[in-house]
Structure formats: structure tokens, C-alpha cells
A and B are shown apart, each in its own frame.
Chain A
Amino acid sequence: MSRSRSEDLRFGERLALRVIDLISTLYLGYKPPVNEEAFRTLGVRGYAKWSGATGRTMKVLAEGLGEAESQFVIGFSGLWLGCGYCGAGHIHAGNLIIYRDRDALTPLDDATLRELYDTPDSEAVARLHELLCAPEHARLLGLITRLYELRGGAEPVTEDDAYLELALSCWDWVTECTIVVGLEIPFESVPPLTPLAKNRKLLRSYAEARARESKADTEGE
């Protein structure tokens, strides 16, 4: 780590942080709660390298795996490492993209993610097979279960594996700072960690669809 996180931010670092918070707010629609920790841990230059590489990684993954799929892969990379902020936020983004483009909801809602957060790896893969058994989720299931296999020590073989390995190493780096908020944060309170967070109409419509789904599930019991 390039600076000691326990040291107070210096004047120049505080100034740079305010600029980054402003840019983040304009780009994402909210101020990420992890910027300050990243500055404290990595310093200004380290932050620039960290956030720049993260942005490039998200772009490469979206191009290589698909926009929605890349968000689920990133989300599960973060969740596996124990960061609820990354897990809930990126999976929320993946869910929004699928809802926007296919008018569909995945089984990966916040309650299910909370369950997976406490599930041992050996049982998680079987649970994912149960959850994502519908044919339309086959691609997603394949990517996420392969992510678990690579985490467990499997050797990368396919072209997809190269993208999954990039997601895993990048989120090893990212969660080093996001974990300060990622352990206790309620999953429901995490916004989608992409500019989709600015699309209030989509967010409202998605929340209503989830509420209708929940009501239908309750009435069906």
C-alpha cells in the first residue's frame, strides 16, 4: 500500500478528493462512499491508477462478456471476496440492464444475495444451479459457476476465462478499499454502481416490478 491509511489526508489530497467526489457525483449520480478510503490507502496517484484500471476493466469486460453479464461477473467477484457493497451494487446494475433490455427479472434479488453471502462455496454452486436453471439464464449460470471454479484453483482455459480472471484480480484490488463499507452495508441501500444510478425512471420501474414479484410470491404461498 502506497500510504498509511491511518494518516490524515494532507491538504492537496483533501482537495483532490473533493474534485473526484464531484466528478463521481456528476458521472454516477451519487458520491461513492469509498473514495476517501481509496485516497487514504493508495494516495492520489495510486487512486488514479486504481480507478483508471477499474474503469478500463469494466469496459473490456462489457465488450467481451456483454454489458449485463459483465456486471454480474464483477458483482460475484466482489461478493465472493466478502464485499457486500460491490456484490449488491454491481449485481443490481446487471439486474437493471436485463430489466431494461428484456423486461425480465433474474432470481438474483437482494434477499438471495444475502443468502449467498453466508453460503459456503461448496453449496453456493449447487444453489446457483437451482436459481438460474431457466434456459434464458444459461450463459449467466455458466459464467458465475466458472468464476467460482477459477477462485477454487481451476486453470484458465477458455476465452471467457481470461475475462473472468481479469475481473477476479481487479476486484482483489478494488475490494481492498471497498471492504470498509462492504461488510455492514444493507444490500437494499446500495445503488447500481454504474451511471444507471442516474436513471430514476428505470430505478423506479425496476423497484415496482420487484415489489409486484414479491407480492405475487407471497400470495402464491
Chain B
Amino acid sequence: MISDSLMAGTRYRFDRPDAPPPVVRVDLLESLDDGHEAALLAELAAATQGAPTTVLIGLSALTRYDPRLRPFLLALQAQISGEGGRAVYVSDRPRLRGVALWVIHMSEDSQAKIVPNMAAALEWLRITDERVSSAEERTLSRLERLEGERGERR
């Protein structure tokens, strides 16, 4: 689904899909300096041309947390939401999922999502949901079912 590398940066990889829906994939391979950050944001702007685009942000290649990551992801998220797009962050490490959660919470983007692997990201691309209300609905539904079952046993 995702192919055609546009440019192979030394610290990030940038790809676009070969078919709709419009998805851009950005994999951060190591910490970015100011120059790489600016280049990536510019590359994203050139790829989306201001159109609402789903951006898949891969963090799984990062092996440690760099404090520079937070402000950069905040800027990246602002650019994506500013164009009406949505973001999905992929990370297999708890701390980096926490960074992504902090970013999407501070950005007040209820559409953005964090997933642990690429399979979950591709699954998420097929659906539309609102993160917080979805968690609320699932919780209340499961809670009512378990409370009901426990009540019947008493």
C-alpha cells in the first residue's frame, strides 16, 4: 500500500502511497537536527499541497527518547491538523507512545491515533473514529456488561 520513496534522508524516510486514500508515511530513523526538521516539514507541505492528508508517522526505529522530539512532533502535528489531515503514530516503545499521546493531547486533535505496529496502523486507516469518545464508549459498554454479569451471579 505504501511505496515509492520520494527521498531517502539519512535521519528520516519519506514515502507516499501508490493508491488512494492519500497517505504519506514518514519514518524517523534517528534524532533530527534543525535542518532535517525544517526539510521534513517542507517535504510534507510539498507532498500534501494543502490537501487533507493522512500521515503515518513511524517512531519504531528510534531507540531512545530525545527531548527535541516533542516540539518537533508538535510542529508536525500542527501542520497536519492545520490542513485538515489526520495523523497516526506508530511506536513499539511505551515512552515514545507517551510522547505521541502528549503531542496529540496538547494539539487537541481527537482524530489522531497511536498504535503499536504497522498492522494496527493499516487497520486504523480503514476506519474513522474519535479517540476519546471511542475510549469512553468502549469503557462504558464493557463496564455495564461486567457489572451486569457480576450482579446476576450474586
| Residue ranges of A at the interface with B (Cβ–Cβ < 8 Å) | 1, 4-6, 41, 49-50, 53, 56-57, 60, 63-64, 79-84, 87, 116-122, 151-153, 162-163, 165-166, 169-170, 172-173, 175-177, 179-180, 182-183
Q: A117 — which chain B residues lie within 8 A by C-beta?
A: 94-95
Contact yes or no, A176 B131, CB < 8 A: yes
Is there contact, CB below 8 Å, between B143 and A56? yes
Specify the main secondary structure of chain B where it touches its partner.
helix
> Are B139 and A173 in contact, with the CB atoms below 8 A?
yes
Query: B132 contacts A56, CB within 8 Å?
Result: no
Interface centre among A41, A82, A177 (most CB of B within 10 A): A82
Structural contact, B101 and A175, CB atoms closer than 8 A: yes
Given A118-B64, A118-B65, A120-B93: A57 in contact with B116 (beta carbons within 8 A): no
Contact of A166 among B93, B99, B142 (CB under 8 A): B142
For A41, the chain B residues whose CB sits under 8 A away are 105
Residues of B within 8 A of A175 (CB): 101
A118 touches B95 (CB 8 A): yes
Flag whether B127 is at the interface (Cβ < 8 A): no
Whole-angstrom CA separation of A119 from B97 in the bound complex: 12
Nearest-neighbor residue (CB-CB) of A120 within chain B? B92
Given the interface pairs A169-B142, A172-B135, the reply to whether A81 lies near B105 with Cβ below 8 Å is no
Q: Contact: B147 with A80, CB < 8 Å?
A: no
Residue of A nearest to B149 (CB): A162
CB contact under 8 A between A180 and B116, given known A84-B98, A166-B143, A166-B146: no
Knowing A64-B150, A173-B132, the reply to whether A82 touches B139 (Cβ < 8 A) is no
Tell me if B51 is interfacial: C-beta within 8 Å of chain A. Answer: no
B94 and A169: CB pair below 8 A? no
Interface string of B55-70 (1 = CB under 8 A from A): 0000010001100000
CB contact between A82 and one of B96, B110, B147, B150 (< 8 Å): that residue:
B96
